Amino acid sequence: MPRPYRAVDELPAAPGGEEAAHREAVLPDDDLQVFLKALASSTRQKLFAHFADGEELTVGEVAERAGLGPSTTSEHLAVLRRGGLLQSTRSGKLVRYRADKEGIAELLGQLHSYLRSPSGVRDTP
């Protein structure tokens, strides 16, 4: 299950004994970063579109539809799975992939929270 994003609270004291400015920067959690990286590729976006209607597909079926080699397709599907976009089930030698709607909803919620949070670095008294 994806974890919520984390905040970095304070930076170390400035040299020379001066009081350091306390800063807070909100950073996306690792799971959200992997999700965003999975979506960053136009090839993976196109592959993911094959699962939009709820279909379960094997690597070979996706490769054929996408016009890619099975090895390349398998690598991209693995990135989409690690990113929380796909689930997989093994049946003998076949691995079937399907959209992970619950995982996607969770990660989109995290992205929404991250985008609505104070961004960047800000000084506090």
Mean pLDDT over residues 107-115, rounded? Answer: 91
Instruction: Give the integer Cα–Cα distance in Å for 53 and 101.
Output: 11
Q: What is the per-residue pLDDT across 16-66, written as a single tens digit (0 to 9) for each?
A: 444 333 334 456 788 999 999 999 999 999 999 999 899 999 999 999 999
Report the candidate in 21, 9, 15, 24 with the shortest Cα–Cα distance to residue 125.
21
Q: How far is CA 53 from the centre of its chain?
A: 21
Structure tokens at 85: 């976009």
- Cα dihedral 24, 29, 32, 37, rounded to 10, equals 90
Q: What is the per-residue pLDDT across 91-103, written as a single tens digit (0 to 9) for each?
A: 999 999 999 999 9
Check residues 26 and 4 and name the one with the higher pLDDT.
26
